[in-house]
A and B are shown apart, each in its own frame.
Chain A
Amino acid sequence: MGLFTLSPAWAQVPAGTADPTASPANSVSGSVTAGDGSGPLPGATVQIENTTRGVTTDFDGNFTLELREGDSVLLVSYIGFVKQRIPVGSTKQFSIVLMPEQKITDEVVVIGYGVQKKSDNTGSVSSVRGDDLVKVPNNNAMQALQGKVAGVQVVSNSGTPGDPPKVRIRGIGSTSTGSSTSASAPGASAGKNDPLYVVDGVFMNDISGINSQDIESMEILKDASAAAIFGIGGANGVILITTKGGTAGQTRVTFNAEYGLQTVNKMIGVLDGPGYATVANNAGWASYNANAVPSTNWQDSVFRTSAPIQNYQLGVSGGSKTSNYYLGVGYFKQDGILPHSDYQRLTTRFNGNYFLGPRIKVGHNISIAPYSRQNTPSSIISNAYYASPIVQPHCDTCLQAFPIKFSPELNVGNPLATLTYESESFNKGVRSTSNIFAELTLPAGFSYRVNAGIDMTYQTSTVYTPVYRVNNLQQFPNSKLTVGRQYYNNLLLDNLLYYKKDFGPHNIDALAGYSVYLDYSDFLNAAANNVLSAPDLWYLNSTGSSTNIAQSNVTNGGFEVHRVSYFGRASYSYKSKYSLTGTYRIDGSSKFGSGNLLGYFPSFGANWLVSEEDFMKKINWINLLKVRGSWGRLGNDKIDPNLQYAKIAGNQGAVLNGTQQTGQTVGNPVNKNLKWETTEQFDAGVEIGLLNNRLRIEADYYNRKNLNMLAEVPIPGYVGAGGSGATGGKIFTNVGSIRNSGIELAASWRETIGKFSYRLGGNLATVKNTIIALNPDLTSGDELIGESINGSPATINKRGGSVGEYYGYKVIGVFKDQADVDASPNTGNQKPGELKYADVSGNGKIGVEDRVSLGSPIPKMTYGFNLGFNFANFDLSADFNGTFGNKIMNGKEIKHFGTTNFESHYANGWSPSNTETSVPAAYLSGSNYLISDFYVYDGSYLRLRTLTLSYTIPEALNKKMNISKLQVYLRGTNLLTWTKWTGYSPEVGGSDMAAGIDYGTYPVTTVYTGGINFNF
């Protein structure tokens, strides 16, 4: 699947079997069904060619027609479907299948607050059908988009059950990590570069409560013309989701079941016990007997060999002249590949439309999704990587360890003990995304719609840590229970006035709207000590004494965000050949300084459907040629609420005469004049359909500038914002401007040869990310430090460079011996076996002036392609995706600490007897841990995302079994990955300031799935 979901025009007209008893001798009969699988077509016209005689099909799509002498051909037609011409011959019984029309001028796309003919749409919009969103085992539809849509990058942040992926449309617009309101319920916070999700009109920060099976279609609005109507949140693109509805006269039942097993098919190469002992001895900080040390593979010990993932869904839809409905029930469960972690979710959906008369319609989309999850500490993944291999998981002689005799691990703690003792962490919650609406048709082409929506989450959390002890460093002397309650809702009210009128060839389509939004969040957390270990007692009431609940263990807070928007859009088209669209939106948000509350966002777009011109119609191999262009501005307020207020920070009591007295004062510095971040975007595109639309191509050039980008940036230590370690303080402010530009290309081809058909599709997108300005009030230089590791900048933002590019030393080798150190530029503190850095400045020594850009984590290109083959009832499809030109930094290896384990390449590390090597000695500290390209890898990859084999039972059997479709399939997800990266997965994720830095990313699993789809 690519951008296009069309199938070639073809009709299957099997030779009918005459049944003389069925109808009079001079009549024919039959049925008309839709070729897109939507069932019988009631109301289709069956006409005799060259006459005015004909009938329409009945409620079940059946017809009977009297024939006269000379009648030889039937014309079968239905709006939106390709007309068929069927010779009668001696056949009396027909089974006619009409295929949907693929004429571009009749295609409709969903746009903000409405639908539009695709020919009139001036924006860059990619459409994805719901069917394509369920092809990857997941709880979040965005997972299925990976590699599918040009310009949309989907990265699995983690394999943690229930965690949403990171989605980026057309690059990174900001250096900030965005809103991360702690202690809030899911849905309350959004990453600064996350797109806006609009589900049936409800604005959302993520869609983890939406069942992919309930989605009818998804539209990705990429450019300003398409997204500007959502001004307030459209800066990072908009993902519009329409959930399923019912069709009059057809009751359809679908049932889907899927079961899969997840495995980790790649482990990180680290040293085993003897290998570790050897490098430690070689580096001189230990003297182990390498032949006698234990050897523990911590990664094998923490991961499960396989973990199930399952998904079941039942959908019922139908309707009458006055109403239609869709009911969906789904159950999803994913067990984590770490023990003691899972996510399960029940989704229920009830969508309905009611026609209360010719002029009024009301409806609702109601989704209620209870969920629960168990969480293991995410540190387990990195701890298993770091833990010393010469420590055995258990020991019989650990006198102090209880209740289980785990061996002490002195660096990160025994990962198995952490997994065992720290995993009693549970969330239970319910998320609802619902709206109700009414539409009123007014005279003179006007109509009015009012829509009220809510996205709400209520979540409880229970974390229990028992009394345990491994050793002094890893122990918990008093049991602790922490319980929490989090509530979040986002309410919206839309008032929309539409005007649509055709004046001959002139078509006008306009909209004026007014919306009010209210975000509300509230949390309460409390903790108590000395609670018994039985889960039934994990309530504060069980603590026995109120003295076990310290006042400092109770936190309660929340926030409110208010927004108001006025917007309008006007489209004009002439004969569907020339179209112009203009939008304007004014947004107010309470997240900004009182003088900067409002933002103003205009956009313009135009297109020309060249293929509708007379001179083009002669060229019959070109079916579609459309060129379009747009310009516009959008806003972004995805930052934490209340950043513009200087808040009083508590917990700083003075201890006078042994007693604490309240102390509090103003917290970190803030920018009281925060203002809107604005995205300005230009887009030019072309859409082409060739060879009867079997080959479809869409190409875009885009240039997107983020002005006054909002980001959290480091400020000088002397400002007094505190900070821990070597990092210093930070402030949230308008930082500067960034440009993303590139091209997007998508193409698809499909062809049918008899019973065999095949399809090919591909897309690619390039991004060139450039920082064009930095706010001079923030930096006295031309650069802004991003992420720091070990007290040194690991990523840097330089004017002219790209966001978050890696920064450090170039490695040219390893010091062979002291003579080599003495003869080479060095830091003044280096010794043999340490990395030898390039003296870029040429001043004869190594210092900060020798650091250079070490590449960017932003891929120069992302791409995906798919192949599909269909023969008779078998279908085989493969989806690939990948990135090119990005770098990954091995953050976990740079952050080496204590006597943690080393990666496998240290087996070839420097030692006095192995001086000709590119790997340094396994020292515990020193210059090896400066940021350098020793830790930077080519992050390009190509992944076989899915491979699916399906079998659909022959239609002849369907009738016998009284079903309309039965399909079974086997699918492998993430089966193969080609990459030079040594970590679990080249999809590293991370905040944009620390993008591609792998500090211990959760593995992306390979999943083997089997499933079945029934349609009744």
Chain B
Amino acid sequence: MKNIITAVSKLKTVAATALLIAVSASCSKDYLVVAPKGEITDATFYTTAQGATQAVNALYGQTRVWAFHESGFPIYDIMSDDAYKGSIPGDQPNLVLYETFKHTPNLNMNGDWYYQLYKIIRDANAVLTYVPPISMDANLKARILGEAKFFRALCYSGLVRGFGGVPLITQMDPPVGIGRSSADEVYAQIFKDLQEAHDVLPLAYPASEKGRITKGAASSLMARMYLFKGDYANTEKYALEVINSNVYDLEADFSTVFLPAGDYGKEAVYEVGAVKGLPNDYNWMADGGSQYANTQAIRGTPNRGWGFNRPSLELMNFFGDKDPRKNKTIIFLGEVMPDGITTLGDAVTLDTTYDANRKITEIECYNQKVWVPGNNVGSAFGANRKIIRYSDVLLMAAEALNKNGKSAEALPYLNKVRQRARGGAGGDTLPDITETNTSALDDIIFDERRRELALEDLRYWDLVRTGRAEAVLGPLGFIKGKHELLPLPSLEVEQSGGKIIQNPQY
């Protein structure tokens, strides 16, 4: 009994102590403030040069995200007369709706692209909001802010071409209820950002930093957007600035620019870098891959990808038989690629499709501009997509000069592209152009752009900006006044409570 009494009195002490400890522990509100475990927060991240660099690097990382590339399939080539949906009929049947101009606001392709562009704009706004207060090297800071402005402008240039005037967001965490800005307001922001980027970015980087945004990239994007707006004076100005910088040149062979040998090369003005030779570990994004090429790579044998965005019969015919770029742009079945592997294609779709009159309607083939050597699916994630090439800058200069009444000055730039394209072949293969009639030369340059830049997401815009879209794409379903723009994602309109109005006729 005595033991029990002792135990009881001890327990009383223990209980009283427990009560005391508990009460005193709680007196501090500190107990209720718990930091996330294993995760850095915004409060500590944006305080060093390292944080600023990693934050701007994230923008480059986001351009490896598949949806950045015009939804990834990519829809604008498929909507143009240069390509079909590709792949097999059961894979992404909704893509057919884009090919036939029956796409609707609820489809995920335009949504994918729209959301990813705004995701990058948010990440650019994060740099532009959080980096300025950081105490760090002033030159590095200025460059980082310049890179972020380029990416913000790049994304708005996709949005304004794709969707027209969109909500213009230049702050972090904007409120709901923002409506659409006008296209002019969006353009103004694009040119402001690009000019500011242009003014601080270097012409080139040391070897280990190759792939970062340069002054030339900012000028070239300005030229592209001024051209799209029809401002030929500024197009000429910025295209010539790039040319006269003497930083860039054409690769000797047309194929080189799309191969690893052309990566970070003299023709690549702006490219999205990707790590080569990835294993088949399904970790491709984290490992530095870019899925843009995988989506379009050969389906079947050898199995490198999904086989979307198949070059069209019209494109093959347009090249004609003489242009060497035809075989350098299109992989035909039976073609032996530089790695020695013969292309057999998928076993599902017909190698050649005929209509009821035994007329050929489609030939199975693939986009050679995304081809990279390698022996597995992972390797197809290693293609550097060249978003702005020097030959595009040359052709922009030529087009603008001609429009500005300087046709003779335009010819050398056009012929430089043709000369490289013919690859040493003589005779009637892509002879030099001597035409100086503005209208005729404009048509020639326009056709040259199609052959030079096929399957590089430019054909559709060229058709739209020059007013040729209805004539060329009308038979495929294009409706003037509607299909110049994509529909905004249906949820973006519906969530806005009437603030965001859908594009006409959708």
Contacts and interface: CB of A to CB of B under 8 A. Distances in A.
Interface stretch (A289-297, A577-585, A789-797, A854-862): A789-797
Contact of B299 (A472, A588, A728, A781): A472
A357 B8 contact: yes
Contacts of B261: none
A722 interface: yes
A651 B212 CA distance: 18
Among A440, A651, A791, the most chain B Cβ lie within 10 Å of the Cβ of A791
17 contacts: A493-B18, A562-B34, A646-B42, A656-B208, A657-B210, A663-B60, A663-B61, A664-B40, A717-B489, A720-B123, A723-B115, A777-B175, A780-B497, A781-B495, A782-B497, A788-B491, A926-B97
B202 interface: no
- Number of contact residues on A: which range applies? 35 or more
Interface stretch (A415-423, A550-558, A834-842, A946-954): A550-558
Interface in A884-909: 897-899
Among B5, B166, B491, the most chain A Cβ lie within 10 Å of the Cβ of B491
Given A472-B299, A717-B489, A655 B64 contact: yes
A647 B39 CA distance: 6
A360 interface: yes
A251 interface: no
B60 A781 contact: no
B185 to A, nearest CB: 14
Contacts of B207: 657
A493 B88 CA distance: 62
Contacts of B210: 656-657
Interface string B14-46: 110011001101100101111111111110010
A705 to B, nearest CB: 24
B11 interface: yes
Given A648-B42, A726-B111, A660 B121 contact: no
B54 A590 contact: no
A440 B42 contact: no
B32 A590 contact: yes
A661 B8 contact: no
Among A522, A641, A719, the most chain B Cβ lie within 10 Å of the Cβ of A719
The 10 closest A-B pairs by CB, nearest first: A720-B122, A781-B497, A652-B61, A791-B106, A663-B57, A654-B60, A780-B497, A898-B90, A655-B273, A660-B288
B482 to A, nearest CB: 10
A675 interface: no
Contacts of A791: 105-108, 111, 489-491
A848 interface: yes
Interface string B102-132: 1011111001101110111111011100100
Given A493-B18, A652-B57, A654-B60, A594 B93 contact: no
- Number of contact residues on B: which range applies? 35 or more
B15 A645 contact: no
A561 B274 CA distance: 40
Interface stretch (B276-284, B364-372, B436-444, B467-475): B276-284
Contacts of A812: none
A234 to B, nearest CB: 19
Interface of A: 285, 356-357, 359-360, 362, 410-411, 438, 440, 448, 450, 472, 477-478, 480, 493, 495, 514, 516, 522, 529, 550, 552-553, 556-564, 566, 588-590, 594, 597, 641-642, 645-648, 651-666, 669, 714-729, 777-783, 785, 788, 790-793, 827, 829, 848, 897-899, 924-926, 930
Interface in B55-88: 55-62, 64, 67, 88
A483 to B, nearest CB: 16
Contact of B32 (A588, A729, A792): A588
B60 A656 contact: yes
B123 A777 contact: no
Contacts of A788: 491
Given A558-B38, A647-B40, A651-B61, A410 B88 contact: yes
Contact of A722 (B106, B116, B281): B116
A659 B275 contact: yes
B275 A658 contact: yes
A717 B114 contact: yes
Contacts of B112: 724-726
A725 B72 CA distance: 11
B251 to A, nearest CB: 18
Contacts of A726: 106-108, 111-112, 489-491
B89 interface: yes
Contacts of B178: 716, 718
B58 A664 contact: yes
Contact of A589 (B32, B40, B45): B32
A556 B39 CA distance: 10
B199 interface: no
Contacts of B14: 438
B38 to A, nearest CB: 4
B23 to A, nearest CB: 6
A450 B492 contact: no
Given A716-B176, A718-B169, A791-B111, A356 B8 contact: yes
Contacts of A356: 4, 7-8, 11
Contacts of A777: 175-176
A447 B208 CA distance: 74
Among B93, B209, B276, the most chain A Cβ lie within 10 Å of the Cβ of B93
Contacts of B133: none
Contacts of A560: 34, 37
Given A665-B54, A666-B45, A925-B94, A658 B263 contact: yes
A651 B492 contact: no
B183 to A, nearest CB: 15
A718 B174 contact: yes
A651 B276 CA distance: 17
A779 B175 CA distance: 10
B496 interface: yes
A89 B164 CA distance: 104
A648 B178 CA distance: 26
Given A655-B273, A719-B174, A829 B32 contact: no
Contact of A781 (B41, B114, B496): B496
A780 B176 contact: yes
Nearest to A388: B90
A557 B38 contact: yes
Contacts of B60: 652-656, 663
Contact of A514 (B23, B45, B91, B173): B23
Contacts of A564: 26, 31-32
Nearest to A521: B37
A175 B116 CA distance: 26
Given A658-B276, A665-B58, A899-B90, 10 more contacts: A480-B282, A550-B281, A590-B32, A594-B33, A645-B36, A652-B62, A654-B61, A655-B288, A718-B178, A791-B106
Interface string B242-279: 00000000000000000000011000000011111001
A529 B279 contact: yes
A792 B490 contact: yes
Contacts of B376: 477
A556 B175 CA distance: 34
B481 interface: no
Given A478-B280, A655-B211, A716-B492, A285 B19 contact: no
Contacts of B102: 829, 926
Nearest to B129: A666
A655 B32 contact: no
Given A495-B19, A715-B176, A785-B495, A898 B93 contact: yes
Nearest to B288: A660
B32 A440 contact: no
A660 to B, nearest CB: 4
A728 B176 CA distance: 14
Given A362-B11, A666-B45, A552 B118 contact: no
B39 A648 contact: yes
B61 to A, nearest CB: 3
Contacts of A589: 32
